[in-house]
Amino acid sequence: MKNIILTGFMGTGKTVVGKILSKLLRIELIDVDTEIERSEKMTISEIFRRFGESRFREIETEMIKKLSLKNNVIISTGGGAVLKKENMDILKKSGIIVCLLATPETILKRTSYTTNRPLLQVEDPLRRIKELLDYRKPFYEKADVMIDTEGKNPSQIAQEIIEKIKEDNGKSQG
């Protein structure tokens, strides 16, 4: 089976859905941000604060290259990984890219419980979410599969991903 690459804006459910997918499909889930924190021995927020977003994006690309060499895994990317064409090219070769979508209001609700979102540490987080979503929309649309997460629980989303992947595999083999 091809790798399953989960992408989408923060708060769209990549981590929660990834864990469910991992159990259902009995394959390993690898979170790019978690692997970066492990290899750099600091949090993503700390990397942003100390070295800036551009350095973080370089580290992220190196980690994506490394993880994309694996087979039969679920790779959950950070929400901004799609911004770099190089990342998308690497990920597309590695597997099927699934983008999870949610409204700005839902994203704000899902992310409001945590302070470890460096891009949302602003006066008006909802406005920031809308700006980032507008900017990233054409990048997210390059995914192989788009899944709207509104009004669905993580198990329903995971099931929908499995169905879409089966459809995609059927098309590529037929």
Q: What is the CATH number of the domain that holds 160?
A: 3.40.50.300
Predicted local confidence at residue 74, as pLDDT: 98
Look at the alpha carbons of 44, 50, 53, 54 in this order and tell me if their dihedral is positive or negative: negative
In a domain, 138, yes or no: yes
In a domain, 174, yes or no: no
Predicted local confidence at residue 90, as pLDDT: 96
Predicted local confidence at residue 120, as pLDDT: 55
Backbone angles phi, psi at 52, to 5 degrees: 90, 165
In a domain, 24, yes or no: yes
In a domain, 134, yes or no: yes
pLDDT per residue as tens digits for the range 38-50: 999 999 889 989 9
Predicted local confidence at residue 174, as pLDDT: 45
Work out how many domains the chain is built from and give that number: 1
In a domain, 155, yes or no: yes
Global pTM exceeds 0.85: yes
Predicted local confidence at residue 126, as pLDDT: 87
Please, where are the H alpha helices in the chain? 14-25, 32-40, 44-51, 53-67, 85-94, 104-111, 125-140, 154-173
In a domain, 173, yes or no: no
Low-confidence ranges of the chain (pLDDT < 70): 113-122, 168-174
Predicted local confidence at residue 119, as pLDDT: 53
Which amino acid makes up residue 84?
A: K
Predicted local confidence at residue 81, as pLDDT: 93
Which amino acid makes up residue 162?
A: I
Residue-range definition of the domain harbouring residue 33: 3-167
Predicted local confidence at residue 46, as pLDDT: 92
In a domain, 129, yes or no: yes
Predicted local confidence at residue 109, as pLDDT: 86
In a domain, 25, yes or no: yes
CA distance 145 to 14: 14
Q: Is 68 in contact with 94 (CB distance < 8 Å)? A: yes
